[in-house]
């Protein structure tokens, strides 16, 4: 297949100062959860993007000095010459595929707590920023920088830039955004200085200008100097000549850097999930830049559609299509467009599980791409998979995300695969949950897999086929994979937060009931101790249907876990806009058909109740493994019928999120002929 000429513009080279990007696909700086501790993992994660056609591949935030220490979060660093080697590993990996490598030099100022190095954080005027995420909450306030500190900061940038050049980087960033480094000098509420670095906008911009010029002088002959700039806060400040201070800053510095990378300053806005935004959501923050500079402009927007990418270029918004999450979900996105295989793109669903992995301080994981983070450790490639024996047959029972991913990977390996699904539709929980408000894009988990499976001659799918143990045995295949999912239960918690058994009574529902179309009588109480999306999504759905809704939870927030994937603030706002009531830090102890009873999680004798017509329990799921257990209980029969292995995967093995199910299906398919498909085969330890 060949490329659609409509997309030719995406494959034009773009000059960036002294270097040239081979195309307009630009993997922007973003943390991968590896830091300097896992250089091989990081290099392999970046390398697959270069191989997959991204013309520029950047590191995540890279500290220039120990006074910028984000521990325990995984950041990378170029503090001295000893740090060069680990970066060179990634640069060489990216260069092997003809892409440019970039590094985002970063000084956190008051945005870091310096827990590891114990150096007092410093910033323009010693003003602190009060973070609400625990890993960024600092118990020490920063000190104000004097002129000597500013001289030192400039020197650190130059030293780090020289090291970046030694490592082989083609593009070296100054990170002047997101509350970091010189950005703190730009903001009038952060910069109260009375010297030449404070006061007028000219003065506040001085440090940014000086650092760009310093770096250009030091390495500008060979490396492009890029600036990453956050615009949203400055767009709100009226300018003296132009519309806003953001406009004036860009026009003052216009052509001094070789590239502008522009975005919003709040990381929860920059990574807003698909539940609360559409593709291209960053346009209000970057579309003003293009007319103010002759240098290329890059921006993100969770772009997965080549038509939208072309539109960004043709409308003069961006010169380079920046991406973070779309590169995670499909490192081969550009190559698929180039080869006319757009329908094979594994589109990001905007769920932000990748974001939560970074907060967990582990290599980034992805719902759509199970190989993410395993490229080096397990040698899993996002597009290639070792061939299997075509004469070997595998029966997969259940076509949810686990069964579909398993069938797809087995099909790619060349096995003879049969999928039996009880219902009349593919996708299992994904198909049901994607009908919840804001989750339509989650259906991409199903669609990516079914689109590919349907054209595979070695994979057959049978819908409306609920299999019994006898059916499985009669089928006479070599391997059996059970992917029959899980069910929500009515279990509630005891005061130690352990399961206390089912709550009995009428008008009590689970999410499965609501997803199947049950219409509870209001007012409705949702008792949520699952803490992810389900409780708040059901609240939204029921409000749309006109019900009064109150969420009761033992946590201190609605969907409390979503602090980890950056959705918490948006969920809280949505609940408040919808008028959903919230009662925090309470266990539910009973429901008598007209009211629920609750007790404080701190003081069990502190009891209360609220009236309601129905109760929905969003808590514990239970495996639907009846078929697996039946088959397993008759080991002799299994052996007699020639079945060599029996596995269970996904929610039927252990209920989890969709990312777990996809990963489990993939792992099983990779290892099915390795003797033990369940436990990981030997894998490399973290790198160094």
Known catalytic residues are 180
Stretch that binds ligand SF4, among 108-116, 132-140, 363-371, 394-402 (CB under 6 A): 363-371
* Nearest distance in Å: CB 359, ligand SF4: 13
Q: Which CB sits closer to ligand ADP, 55 or 400? A: 400
Q: Which CB sits closer to ligand SF4, 57 or 354? A: 354
Buried b (16+ CB within 10 A) or exposed e, 303-342: bbbbeebbebbeeebbbbbbbbbbbbbbbbbbbbbbeeeb
* Nearest distance in Å: CB 367, ligand SF4: 4
Within 365-384, the residues that bind ligand SF4 by CB under 6 A are: 366-368
Could you please report the per-residue DSSP string of 267-328?
HHHHT--TTS--TTTTHHHHTTTGGG-SS-EEE-S----HHHHHHHHHTTS-SEEEESHHHH
- Three-state DSSP class for 456? coil
Binding ligand SF4 by CB under 6 A: which of 351, 410, 477, 552? 351
* Nearest distance in Å: CB 663, ligand ADP: 11
Residue 182 phi, psi dihedral angles, 5° rounding: -65, -15
Beta-strand pair 122-123/143-144: parallel
Q: Which CB sits closer to ligand SF4, 133 or 584? A: 133
- 510 closest CA partner among 501, 497, 520, 495: 520
Residue 562 contacts ligand SF4 per CB under 6 A: no
Give the pair of three-digit tokens for residue 576.
């408040």
Residue 244 is classified by DSSP as B
Distance CA 653, CA 647 (A): 9
Residue 6 is classified by DSSP as G
Q: Which CB sits closer to ligand SF4, 174 or 366? A: 366
* Nearest distance in Å: CB 399, ligand ADP: 5
Stretch that binds ligand SF4, among 255-263, 361-369, 448-456, 547-555 (CB under 6 A): 361-369
Residue 70 contact partner, candidates ligand SF4, ligand ADP, none, CB within 5 to 8 A by sort of partner: none
Residue 349 contacts ligand SF4 per CB under 6 A: yes
Residue 399 contact partner, candidates ligand ADP, ligand SF4, none, CB within 5 to 8 A by sort of partner: ligand ADP
Other beta carbons within 10 angstroms of residue 137's beta carbon come to 10
Distance CA 503, CA 587 (A): 13
Beta-strand pair 224-230/259-263: parallel
Residues binding ligand ADP (CB under 6 A): 397-403, 420-423, 428-429, 465-467, 483-485, 624, 627, 650-652, 661
Within 297-336, the residues that bind ligand SF4 by CB under 6 A are: 325, 328-329
Residue 392 contact partner, candidates ligand SF4, ligand ADP, none, CB within 5 to 8 A by sort of partner: none
Q: Which CB sits closer to ligand ADP, 290 or 670? A: 670
Residue 238 is classified by DSSP as B
Q: What is the CA radius of gyration of the chain?
A: 27
Binding ligand SF4 by CB under 6 A: which of 352, 418, 434, 562? 352
C-alpha 218, offset from chain centre? 36
| Number of residues binding to ligand SF4, judged by CB under 6 A | 13
Give the pair of three-digit tokens for residue 467.
């299999």
Residue 661 contact partner, candidates ligand ADP, ligand SF4, none, CB within 5 to 8 A by sort of partner: ligand ADP
* Nearest distance in Å: CB 172, ligand SF4: 26
Residue 483 contact partner, candidates ligand ADP, ligand SF4, none, CB within 5 to 8 A by sort of partner: ligand ADP
Residue 267 is classified by DSSP as H
* Nearest distance in Å: CB 427, ligand ADP: 7
Query: Which residues are within 8 A (CB) of 645 and not within 5 positions of it... i.e. 6 or more apart?
Result: 478, 479, 480, 672, 677
The residue count for the chain: 688
Within 329-348, the residues that bind ligand SF4 by CB under 6 A are: 329, 348
Give the CA-trace dihedral at 282, 287, 289, 293, to 10 degrees.
Answer: 130
Residue 349 contact partner, candidates ligand SF4, ligand ADP, none, CB within 5 to 8 A by sort of partner: ligand SF4
Give the pair of three-digit tokens for residue 396.
């997969």
Which residues of the chain form contacts with ligand SF4 (CB under 6 A)?
325, 328-329, 348-354, 366-368
């Amino acid at each position: 297949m060949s490329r659609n000429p409509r997309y030719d513009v995406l494959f034009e080279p773009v000059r960036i100062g002294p270097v040239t990007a081979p195309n307009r696909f630009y993997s922007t700086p973003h943390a991968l959860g590896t830091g300097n501790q896992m250089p091989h993992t990081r290099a392999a994660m970046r390398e697959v993007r270069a191989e997959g056609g991204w013309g520029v591949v950047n590191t995540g935030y890279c500290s220039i000095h120990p006074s910028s220490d984000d521990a325990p979060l995984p950041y990378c660093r170029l503090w001295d010459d000893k740090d060069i080697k680990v970066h060179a590993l990634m640069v060489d990996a990216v260069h092997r595929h003809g892409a440019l490598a970039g590094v985002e030099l970063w000084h956190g100022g008051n945005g870091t707590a310096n827990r590891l190095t114990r150096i007092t954080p410093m910033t323009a005027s010693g003003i602190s920023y009060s973070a609400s995420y625990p890993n960024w909450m600092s118990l020490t306030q920063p000190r104000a920088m004097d002129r000597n500190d500013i001289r030192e900061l400039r020197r650190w940038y130059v030293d780090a830039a020289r090291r970046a050049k030694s490592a082989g980087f083609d593009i070296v960033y100054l990170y002047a955004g997101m509350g970091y480094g010189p950005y703190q000098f730009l903001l009038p509420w952060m910069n109260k200085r009375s010297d030449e670095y404070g006061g007028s906008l000219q003065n506040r911009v001085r440090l940014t200008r000086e650092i760009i010029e310093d770096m250009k002088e030091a390495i500008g002959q060979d490396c492009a100097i890029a600036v990453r700039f956050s615009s949203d806060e400055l767009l709100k400040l009226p300018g003296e000549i132009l519309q806003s201070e953001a406009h004036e800053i860009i026009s003052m510095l216009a052509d001094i850097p070789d590239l502008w990378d522009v975005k919003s300053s709040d990381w929860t806005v920059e990574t807003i999930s698909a539940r609360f935004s559409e593709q291209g959501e960053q346009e209000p923050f970057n579309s003003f830049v293009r007319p103010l500079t002759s240098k290329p402009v890059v921006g993100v927007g969770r772009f997965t559609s080549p038509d939208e990418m072309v539109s960004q270029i043709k409308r003069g918004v961006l010169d380079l299509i920046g991406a973070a999450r779309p590169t995670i979900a499909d490192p081969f996105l550009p190559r698929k467009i180039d080869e006319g295989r757009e329908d094979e793109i594994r589109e990001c669903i905007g769920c932000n599980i990748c974001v939560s992995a970074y907060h967990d301080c582990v290599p980034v994981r992805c719902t759509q791409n199970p190989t993410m983070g395993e490229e080096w450790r397990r040698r899993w490639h996002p597009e290639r998979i070792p061939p299997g024996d075509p004469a070997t047959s595998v029966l997969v029972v259940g076509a949810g995300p686990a069964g579909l991913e398993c069938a797809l990977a087995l099909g790619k390996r060349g096995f003879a695969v049969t999928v039996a699904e009880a219902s009349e539709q593919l996708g299992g929980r994904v198909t049901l949950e994607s009908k919840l408000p804001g989750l339509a894009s989650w259906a991409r988990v199903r669609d990516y897999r079914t689109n590919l499976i349907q054209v595979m001659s070695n994979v057959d799918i049978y819908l409306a086929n609920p299999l019994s143990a006898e059916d499985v045995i009669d089928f006479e295949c070599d391997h059996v994979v059970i992917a029959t999912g899980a069910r929500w239960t009515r279990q509630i918690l005891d005061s130690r937060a352990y399961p206390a058994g089912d709550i009995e009574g009428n008008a009590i529902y689970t999410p499965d009931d609501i997803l199947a179309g049950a219409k509870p009588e209001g007012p409705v109480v949702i008792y949520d101790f699952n803490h992810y999306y389900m409780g708040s999504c059901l609240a939204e759905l029921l409000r749309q249907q006109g019900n009064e809704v109150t969420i009761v939870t033992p946590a201190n927030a609605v969907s409390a876990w979503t602090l980890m994937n950056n959705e918490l603030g948006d969920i809280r706002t949505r609940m408040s806009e919808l008028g959903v009531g919230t009662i925090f830090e309470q266990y539910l102890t009973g429901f008598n058909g007209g009211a629920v009873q609750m007790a404080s999680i701190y003081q069990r004798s502190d009891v209360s109740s609220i009236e309601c017509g129905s109760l929905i329990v969003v808590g514990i799921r239970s495996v639907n493994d009846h078929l697996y257990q039946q088959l397993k209980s008759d080991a002799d029969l299994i052996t007699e019928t020639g079945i060599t292995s029996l596995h269970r995967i996904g929610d039927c093995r252990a209920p989890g999120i969709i990312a777990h199910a996809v990963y489990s299906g993939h792992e099983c398919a990779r290892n099915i002929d390795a003797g033990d498909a369940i436990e990981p085969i030997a894998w490399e330890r973290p790198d160094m």
